[in-house]
Amino acid sequence: MPLLLALTLQAASAPAVAIPTGRDLRTAVAAADAALFKTFFEECEPAKLDAMLTPDFEMYHDRDGVVARDGKAMVALYTKQCEAKKAPDAWRSRRELVADSLNVEPVPGFGAIEEGNHVFYERKGDGPEKLVGRAHFVQLWQMTSSGWRLSRVLSYSHRAAGATPEAAKP
In the predicted structure, residue 148 carries a pLDDT above the cut 90: yes
pLDDT, residue 117, reads 97
Q: Count of CB atoms within 10 A of residue 116's CB?
A: 19
Summarize pLDDT for 75-113 with one digit per residue, the tens.
999 999 999 988 999 999 999 999 999 999 999 999 999
Query: What is the DSSP pairing of strand 130-144 with strand 111-124?
Result: antiparallel
Q: Which residues contact 68 (CB under 8 A, 6 or more apart)?
A: 57, 58, 59, 74, 77
- Of 13-17, 33-37, 98-102, 104-108, the range with the lowest mean pLDDT is 13-17
Domain at 19-168: CATH architecture = Roll (3.10)
Domain limits, the chain = 19-168
Residue 10 pLDDT > 60: no
**Local structure of 20: helix, strand or coil:** coil
Is the pLDDT confidence value at 170 over 90? no
Task: Give the number of other Cβ atoms within 10 Å of residue 59's Cβ.
Answer: 20
Amino acid at 98: V
